[in-house]
Chain A
Amino acid sequence: DADVTQTPRNRITKTGKRIMLECSQTKGHDRMYWYRQDPGLGLRLIYYSFDVKDINKGEISDGYSVSRQAQAKFSLSLESAIPNQTALYFCATSDSRGYTYEQYFGPGTRLTVT
């Protein structure tokens, strides 16, 4: 969905490096999410934000941090990358108005930590 963009799309980094994944959206949604996807495990929630000043940990937040710079931008950081953080990372948005609950996903960032 072009309304939710993620950069970079692919990244290879070394153990111990700091890396930031960025997400931007033009949908005007207030809620934003970060997930990681591993084969056979589905998607797991890392962090979520209901507005700029409201950030919450998901089920697997250890080793990650986030920043909601504006309503449209939500960044995920790996302070010191480790190999088991190799995964496909997705950003998603949803709109609290209208109670539709539907989430809109970005195209994903494939991260490899060597």
Chain B
Amino acid sequence: SQQGEEDPQALSIQEGENATMNCSYKTSINNLQWYRQNSGRGLVHLILIRSNEREKHSGRLRVTLDTSKKSSSLLITASRAADTASYFCATGTSGTYKYIFGTGTRLKVLA
């Protein structure tokens, strides 16, 4: 069973717009990570947020975490065509180093 589910499943925006995708999960976590996957290729780590953090920034990325709602959001500001990819959240639980991935959001940025 999937721990995380992303919403929306697919998103299409114009270059320069912001993209927001959400991740919901089911159990208590130690950390939540976001990964990007270009078509058919390996995943690349984007950002990690720990359970005691509420917001984190990295370049054009902003991640928020609401542990009371068991949800996280990833905001990509000023999107570019190169941001076109699938984005996955992955949750890690305390005491383990295994992660459960969500189903992903497919983002398409139109030039």
Across the two chains, which residue of chain A brings its CB closest to B41?
A107
Q: How far is the CB of A7 from chain B (nearest CB, A)?
A: 14
Inter-chain CB contacts under 8 Å: number = 63
Is B22's beta carbon under 8 Å from chain A?
A: no
B81 contacts the other chain (CB 8 A)? no
Q: Is chain B's binding surface mostly helix, strand, loop or mixed?
A: strand
A62 at the interface (CB under 8 A from B): no
Taking a contact as CB atoms closer than 8 A, the residue among A4, A41, A45, A106 that contacts B98 in the complex is A45
Q: How far is the CB of B93 from chain A (nearest CB, A)?
A: 11
Q: Which of A26-51 contact B (CB under 8 A)?
A: 31, 33, 35, 40-45, 48, 50
- Expressed in whole angstroms, the minimum distance between the Cβ of B77 and any Cβ of chain A is 22
A59 to B100, CA, bound (A): 9
CB–CB A107/B101 < 8 A? no
* Distance from A8 Cβ to chain B, minimum over Cβ atoms (Å): 15
Among the 9-residue stretches B13-21, B43-51, B65-73, the one with 4 or more Cβ atoms under 8 Å from chain A is B43-51
Kindly identify which residue among A1, A42, A96, A106 contacts B88, using a CB–CB cutoff of 8 Å: A42
Indicate with 1 or 0, residue by residue over B35-79, a CB within 8 angstroms of chain A CB atoms. Answer: 100001111110010000000000000000000000000000000
Beta-carbon nearest neighbor of B102 in chain A: A42
Contacts of B97 in A (CB 8 A): 31, 48, 50, 94, 96, 101
Q: How far is the CB of B96 from chain A (nearest CB, A)?
A: 9
Q: How far is the CB of A46 from chain B (nearest CB, A)?
A: 11
B72-109 contact mask (Cβ, 8 Å, vs A): 1 or 0: 00000000000000001010100001111111100000
A–B complex contacts, Cβ < 8 Å, 5 sampled: A35-B101, A50-B97, A88-B40, A100-B48, A103-B33
Please provide the 7 A-B residue pairs with the shortest distance between their CB atoms, ordered closest to farther. Answer: A105-B42, A43-B101, A42-B103, A105-B43, A102-B45, A42-B101, A107-B42
A contacts, CB < 8 Å to B: 1, 4, 31, 33, 35, 40-45, 48, 50, 56, 58-59, 88, 90, 92, 94, 96, 100-108, 110
